[in-house]
Amino acid sequence: MEIGTDIKRAANYLNDGDVVAIPTETVYGLAASILSEKGIQKIYQLKGRPNNNPLIVHVASIEEISKWVEVWPEKAKILADAFMPGPITLVLPKSNKIPHYVTSGQDTVGIRVPNHPLFVELLKSLPAPLAAPSANPSNATSATQAKHVVSYFKNKDLPYVLDGGACTNGLESTIVGFEKNEVVIYRVGAITIEQIERWVGKVKRATTKKHTLTPGMFTRHYAPKTPLIMTDDLDAYTKQYPEAHVAILYTGKKKKSSNAKITYINLSESDNLEEVGQKLYATLLALDEQSYDALLIQPFPSTDLGITLNDRLTRATAKK
């Protein structure tokens, strides 16, 4: 496995139908050309991903989207103009130029225009869009730095990791669909529901029952290996398990521990949830390398990015 910033080298592997890890503003992805069935199958095999879970297609510009979708609802156009390039994925009826193996046989495609200069330059140099899921084994915490990808796939057949530094958002894109005239949020993400509603009015959140095929919604996801516990009452937990070595993730004024068994990890001194989003996965992955018995965190207020953070934490704490 090679790691570097060489776009030509990445493009060569992709043009050969192979898989390359790429940086985005949200999380790293494992990319292959939508025209390479071999490359797409390799993505599923590298991740251990069930093949009924469709991939997001990444294009270099909003204009490019029109080539790959059949219909552009008015509200989708409004959201594209408002948020692209950026961390939003639109689910639209796909054109038949997108092979069925990219969308797991579905008639829709999740499509997005990323906002990462290195990745956009790579896309512009290629003859076709790139399909890419997050660059982690299925259900594990997403990678937000090249070194996370390396540690996940170092013993696997992944030839190149394009290193674009640490992801600036650090949380996956918001996935939005259009059903009749309604805007439906399939996955909350880096763009908040409030931001979207400012442009298109009230939206609906998809329920798990109806949308079982959107596996961002499978219950357990984004999980570190160390047990992660989300609770409003941290004291109750540390009192119940006085022998446990725990790390407590928090925001706000710096805390110092007077108990050798408790380590405090600050995610943002200014309570800035964007900063928390940027750091969350990297912090979980770093703590996973140490031998804590548990990681503890309080839920965030349920508005704006707090909704996304709570969603990821809820899934990461869910039982298998």
Binding site for ligand TXA (CB under 6 A): 24, 26-27, 29, 53-56, 87, 89, 91, 103, 106, 108-110, 132-134, 172-173, 175, 186, 214-216
Q: Among ligand TXA, Mg ion, none, what binds residue 168 when CB lies within 5 to 8 Å by partner kind?
A: none
Q: Least Å distance between CB 134 and ligand TXA?
A: 4
Q: Least Å distance between CB 133 and ligand TXA?
A: 3
> Residues 24, 36, 108, 134: which binds Mg ion (CB under 5 A)?
134
With contacts defined by CB under 5 A, name the span among 40-48, 87-95, 110-118, 129-137 that binds Mg ion.
129-137
Q: How far apart are CA 59 and CA 295, in angstroms?
A: 37
Closer residue to ligand TXA (CB): 48 or 252: 48
Q: Least Å distance between CB 5 and ligand TXA?
A: 18
Q: How far apart are CA 196 and CA 69, in angstroms?
A: 21
In which order are the strands placed within the sheet that holds 108-112? Answer: 2-4, 160-162, 20-22, 29-33, 130-131, 56-58, 108-112, 88-93, 174-179, 182-187, 204-205
Q: Least Å distance between CB 51 and Mg ion?
A: 15
Closer residue to ligand TXA (CB): 65 or 247: 65
Closer residue to Mg ion (CB): 134 or 226: 134
Q: Least Å distance between CB 134 and Mg ion?
A: 3
- 3-state SS of 254-312 is CCCCCCCCEEEEEEECCCCHHHHHHHHHHHHHHHHCCCCCEEEECCCCCCCHHHHHHHH
With contacts defined by CB under 5 A, name the span among 16-24, 62-70, 130-138, 192-200 that binds Mg ion.
130-138
With contacts defined by CB under 5 A, name the span among 77-85, 127-135, 257-265, 281-289 that binds Mg ion.
127-135
- Give CA 20 to chain center in angstroms: 17
Number of residues that bind Mg ion (CB under 5 A): 1
For residue 171, give both structure tokens: 């949380």
Closer residue to ligand TXA (CB): 211 or 261: 211
Closer residue to ligand TXA (CB): 61 or 257: 61
Closer residue to Mg ion (CB): 59 or 175: 175
Q: Least Å distance between CB 54 and ligand TXA?
A: 4
Closer residue to ligand TXA (CB): 10 or 27: 27
- Helix-, strand-, coil-residue percentages of the chain, each rounded to 5: 30, 20, 45
- 3-state SS of 167-195 is CCCCCCCEEEEEECCEEEEEECCCCCHHH
For residue 256, give both structure tokens: 């110092």
Q: Least Å distance between CB 142 and Mg ion?
A: 6
In which order are the strands placed within the sheet that holds 246-251? Answer: 228-230, 294-297, 246-251, 262-268
Q: How far apart are CA 130 and CA 162, in angstroms?
A: 14
**Cis ω on the peptide bond leading into residue 159 (within 30° of 0)?**
no
Binding site for Mg ion (CB under 5 A): 134
